């Protein structure tokens, strides 16, 4: 039985739930939200959909005790409207910090010992706070981090060359926030180093402008529809599938960094145990300085909790 739990069934949580159900990924799904009416409504709506699906998912709501044997738990609660004026994910910090204080003891009390995937902002700080609050091993608690920002990098770079975004490789690293950066030294297009490919195509890339577009990608979506959902939900589900299938998927996620003693977006290998190991890749000295700056940014803000 593949059993999932979702705490927080707003736009992101319900998109994850819909994906798990309609793709037949979940055999059992537990939905928990502080708005019980919303939980009931989403349960009924997903149950209605199943008469037209080839698979069946047992859906239960509002019961923390059901988390005891959950394989993967998503934390997706947030308050995106808090960031409307500032454009910063840290604007949600007060709300999401309080939310973790409320739910972590309940998760712990349930006996849960599976894998936690966090999408809640500010992602790096909240993921670390959740890990320390639940007492779960660091490898079992990680966040989507810069996995989504890397997808945005792939989209933006692909647009520059009119290629498929799947053919762009590389990483956006650091904070899932303003101090993130693209490790341009490792970015490739159709397996060619970006700098060489750009020369071949006769293009002079404005890296600063591209990074700004990537960094503000989420806000562009938010300004248009009031929230983000598809990109982040897809990232979360892909990570969950990597855990279930022990895929040994290498990708950038928010996980613990020993050097800087903080959770941060960095390359890691994801498998049945969660974070199997951090994959230390070569980056330039300038990129190392940016990574250090991002880590210190996260730590300084985390210290205010």
Task: Examine the pLDDT at 256 and tell me if it is beyond 60.
Answer: yes
d(CA 221, CA 257): 30
pLDDT of 211-242, one tens digit each?
888 888 878 888 899 889 999 999 999 999 99
Q: How many CB atoms lie within 10 A of CB 10?
A: 17
91 and 152 within one domain: no
pLDDT at 66: 98
44 and 128 within one domain: yes
155 and 134 within one domain: no
216 and 234 within one domain: yes
pLDDT of 101-131, one tens digit each?
999 999 999 999 999 999 999 999 999 999 9
Which residues, 6+ apart, have CB-to-CB distance to 82 below 8 Å? 91, 92, 94, 95
Report in angstroms the alpha-carbon separations of 112 from 116, 126, 132. 10, 18, 14
SS3 228: coil
SS3 243: helix
pLDDT at 87: 59
Residues comprising the binding site? Answer: 8-13, 33, 97
Q: Which of 143, 170, 193 is the last residue of a domain?
A: 143
Task: Examine the pLDDT at 276 and tell me if it is beyond 80.
Answer: yes
**What CATH number does residue 271 fall under?**
3.90.110.10
Q: Which of 116, 143, 170 is the last residue of a domain?
A: 143
pLDDT of 21-37, one tens digit each?
999 999 999 999 999 99
104 and 66 within one domain: yes
158 and 39 within one domain: no
**What CATH number does residue 49 fall under?**
3.40.50.720
137 and 165 within one domain: no
Q: Which helix (H) or strand (E) holds 115?
A: strand 115-118
pLDDT at 49: 98
pLDDT at 302: 82
162 and 121 within one domain: no
Q: How many CB atoms lie within 10 A of CB 302?
A: 18
156 and 288 within one domain: yes
Q: pTM value?
A: 0.95
d(CA 264, CA 45): 36
pLDDT at 303: 82
Catalytic residues: 176
130 and 112 within one domain: yes
| Domain housing 37 | 3-143
**Cα dihedral angle (235, 6, 16, 280), rounded to 10 degrees?**
10
Which residues, 6+ apart, have CB-to-CB distance to 128 below 8 Å? 256, 262, 263, 302
Q: What percent of the chain has pLDDT above 90? A: 83
Q: Which two tokens stand for residue 223?
A: 């300004």
Give the mean pLDDT of 169-176: 97
Average of per-residue pLDDT values in the chain: 94
The alpha carbon dihedral of 116, 218, 253, 245 has a sign of positive
* CA-based nearest residue to 152, from 205, 208, 90, 216: 216
Report in angstroms the alpha-carbon separations of 54 from 5, 50, 138, 199. 22, 8, 37, 50
Q: Which of 122, 143, 164 is the last residue of a domain?
A: 143
206 and 288 within one domain: yes
d(CA 203, CA 197): 9
9: Cα within 13 Å, side-chain hemisphere: 26
SS3 193: strand
- Greatest Cα pair distance, the chain, in angstroms, is 60
Give the mean pLDDT of 143-157: 97
Number of structural domains in the chain? 2
d(CA 264, CA 184): 18
Residues comprising the binding site for NAD(+)? Answer: 8-13, 33, 97
pLDDT of 42-85, one tens digit each?
999 999 999 999 999 999 999 999 999 999 999 998 777 666 65
186 and 126 within one domain: no
């Amino acid at each position: 039985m593949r059993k999932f739990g979702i705490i927080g069934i707003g736009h992101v949580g319900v998109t994850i739930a819909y994906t798990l159900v309609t793709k037949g990924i979940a055999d059992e799904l537990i939905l928990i939200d502080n708005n019980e009416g919303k939980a009931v409504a989403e349960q009924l709506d997903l149950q209605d959909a199943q008469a037209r699906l080839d698979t069946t998912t047992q859906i239960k709501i509002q019961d923390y005790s059901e988390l005891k044997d959950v394989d993967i738990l998503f934390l997706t609660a947030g308050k995106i409207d808090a960031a409307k004026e500032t454009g910063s994910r840290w604007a949600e910090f007060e709300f999401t910090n309080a939310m973790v204080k409320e739910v972590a003891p309940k998760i712990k009390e349930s006996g849960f010992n599976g894998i936690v995937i966090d999408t809640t902002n500010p992602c790096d700080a909240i993921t670390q706070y959740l890990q320390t609050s639940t007492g779960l091993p660091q490898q079992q608690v990680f966040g989507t981090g810069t996995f989504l920002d890397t997808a945005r990098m792939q989209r933006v770079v692909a647009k520059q060359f009119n290629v498929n975004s799947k053919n762009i490789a590389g990483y956006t690293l650091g904070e899932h926030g303003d101090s993130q950066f693209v490790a341009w030294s490792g970015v490739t297009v159709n397996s060619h180093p970006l700098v060489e490919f750009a020369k071949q195509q006769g293009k002079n890339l404005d890296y600063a402008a591209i990074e700004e577009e990537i960094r503000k990608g989420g806000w562009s979506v938010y300004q248009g529809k009031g929230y983000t959902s598809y990109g982040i939900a897809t990232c979360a589900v892909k990570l969950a599938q990597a855990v279930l299938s022990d895929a040994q998927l290498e990708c950038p996620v928010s996980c613990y960094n020993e050097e800087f003693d903080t959770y941060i977006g960095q390359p890691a290998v994801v498998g049945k145990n969660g974070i199997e190991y951090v994959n230390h890749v070569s980056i330039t000295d300038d990129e190392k300085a940016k990574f250090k700056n991002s880590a210190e940014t996260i730590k300084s803000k985390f210290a205010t909790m």
